[in-house]
Amino acid sequence: VQVEETYIMVKPDGVQRGLVGEIISRFEKKGFRLKGLKLFQCPKELAEEHYKDLKEKSFFPKLIDYITSGPVVCMAWEGVGVVASARKLIGATNPLQAEPGTIRGDLAVETGRNIVHGSDSPDNGQREIGEFLNY
Ligand code: DAT
Ligand code: MG
């Protein structure tokens, strides 16, 4: 596994609930390196592009409303194996199924409000960092 980058985003409820510091802290303590960060109001078009693989799902309109409902915190993190490791630190998509000790397992209860996003591949990490950090 190589040094790579992943895109991590604290979603609007994570920002509103004051969990930005807690989430950053978990990646810092693990040993990853923060490469970029900004507070950002995600435009609807970018939200639809980001979640385009889910556009046929019944929950898609709610997902877009949610992610555009307030500012998000966009971050690039670097490290050996950071893409897969960040997904482990974040936990399962449904916070009720996420293991205790993970971010979602400890801090969330609803799939539709699961407080944080992490890229699912190095290629998507690069693409998402470009789309959000360089918007
Ligand atoms: P993840 O964010 O764990 O990579 P995903 O890529 O499958 O999960 O879905 C993206 C987001 O869409 C997810 O974080 C929350 C929302 N979502 C997924 N499945 C859902 C469902 N069954 N009901 C409501 N929202 C859902
Ligand atoms: Mg995903």
**pLDDT tens, residue by residue, 68-126:** 999 999 999 999 999 999 999 999 999 999 999 999 999 999 999 999 999 999 999 99
Q: Going by C-beta distance under 8 Å and a sequence separation of 6 or more, which residues neighbour residue 68?
A: 12, 41, 42, 43, 44, 47
User: How far is ligand 2, taken at its centre, from the CA of residue 50, in Å?
Assistant: 9
- pLDDT band at residue 1 using 50, 70 and 90 as cut-offs: confident
pTM: 0.98
What is the C-alpha R_g of the chain? Answer: 14
Torsion, Cα 123 124 129 132, to 10 degrees, reads: 150
Residue 2 confidence (pLDDT): 94
* Mutate which of 55, 56, 58, 63 for ligand 1 pocket (most atoms within 8 A of beta carbon): 63
CA pair distance 92, 116, nearest whole angstrom: 11
Q: Which residues are annotated as a binding site for ATP?
A: 11, 59, 87, 93, 104, 114
Torsion, Cα 28 104 99 119, to 10 degrees, reads: -70
Q: Write the ipTM.
A: 0.98
